[in-house]
Amino acid sequence: MEGKSLPDETEAGRVDSVLELSLVIPLYNEVDSLPHLIDAIDSTLLKHKIVAEILFINDGSTDGSDQVLSDLEQKDNRIRIFSFRRNRGKSAALDVGFRHAKGKYVITMDADLQDDPEEIPKLITKIEEGFDVVSGWKKKRYDPISKTIPSKVFNWAARTVSGIKLHDFNCGLKIYRREVLDTIRVYGELHRFIPILAAAQGWRIGELVVQHHPRKWGKTKFGFTRFFSGLLDLISIVFITRFTSSPMHLFGSFGFISLIFGFFILAYLSIGWFIGDPIGQRPLFFLGILLVIVGIQFFSMGWIGEMISHMFAMAKNPKQTMDD
């Protein structure tokens, strides 16, 4: 593999602005597909004359992927490798890629060749239409039904609660302007929600139908359980994106409703007690007390949340203090 080189690095260690693209590829035990993947990427980049760096994030592979990667790196100086000692998950891997990417655009792609490198130029064309993020849509998907049906439900739920009209939130193939990545962090399993995180920061999100292929080598790393963890994460993400800056809006509303109901129930029972109605054994009495206690707890959580967001806001702007 000759003639594969990146533009020279500047003194600051950043590659000159001619670097159009960073490919970020997380991988976990994909030893068999790697050589095919790099060939396919190579021919696309060559054909379309795209200057790119290729970042592989080896997520604790134990199948010899590390050796194959370092062999590839020897022959091709566009390749950069980052390795985890243990498997930390696709989100953590993507996050490392996002922190180190230097290109004007960043494309994420799975390492199993289910995503087609031929989509790279099309993604670039699409983002240049005026988007900040373009998410792939595997319209015709080559996965078992145990994956496609839960995925449809998940995408419907994500669309409904987020209001973002994407068909395939979790598509591995996406393109970003690099500035976008400075404003989001992915951890846990949040990689499924990157479009929601980005939209919450005001970035424009687009969609492009992409070619998908069946897995030829290795096996999938995500089982059916991801469906449930995905739905739980969806609730967290809505909470994070909507209420982080004003947690009292959420907790206060619940607390207020609970307190009002509790207060009226107890007031009603107290009036009865004054006119001689015993209340000690009435179920309504316990409900009233419960609602008041729960209401106070919601308010307390809201206040703690407010204090935390206030401290973060202050930390972002150190000149401003409470004494100002």
Closest CA to 106 of 165, 12, 183: 183
What six digits make up the tokens of 14? Answer: 């950043």
Among 286, 253, 285, 254, smallest CA distance to 272 is for: 285
Give the binding-site size for Mg ion (rule: CB under 5 A).
Answer: 3
Q: Residue 144 and residue 154: Cα distance in Å, rounded? A: 16
Greatest Cα pair distance in the chain: 96
- H/E element, 263: helix 247-274
Task: For residue 6, give Cα distances in angstroms to 53, 153, 264.
Answer: 7, 43, 71
- Tell me the window of 217-225, 249-257, 265-273, 316-324 that interacts with ligand UDP (CB under 6 A): 217-225
- The least CB distance from residue 60 to ligand UDP, in Å, is 8
| Closest separation in Å from C-beta 29 to ligand UDP | 7
Query: Which one of residues 112, 119, 132, 207 is an interface residue with Mg ion (CB under 5 A)?
Result: 112
User: Which one of ligand UDP, Mg ion, none is in contact with 93 (Cβ closer than 5 to 8 A by kind)?
Assistant: ligand UDP
Q: Between 89 and 136, whose beta carbon lies closer to ligand UDP?
A: 89
Distance (Å, whole) CA 239 – CA 230: 14
Binds ligand UDP (CB under 6 A): choice among 90, 122, 177, 192: 90
One of 17, 220, 253, 320 touching ligand UDP (CB under 6 A): 220
Q: Does 59 bind ligand UDP (CB under 6 A)?
A: yes
- Separation CA 13–CA 85 (nearest Å): 25
Q: Note whether 24 and 108 are within 8 A (CB).
A: yes
Is residue 142 within the footprint of ligand UDP (CB under 6 A)?
Answer: no
Tell whether residue 30 is a contact of ligand UDP (CB under 6 A).
yes
Single out the segment in contact with ligand UDP by CB under 6 A; choices: 12-20, 71-79, 111-119, 263-271. 111-119
Which residue ranges make up the site for ligand UDP (CB under 6 A)?
26-28, 30, 59, 87, 89-90, 93, 110-112, 114, 172, 220-222
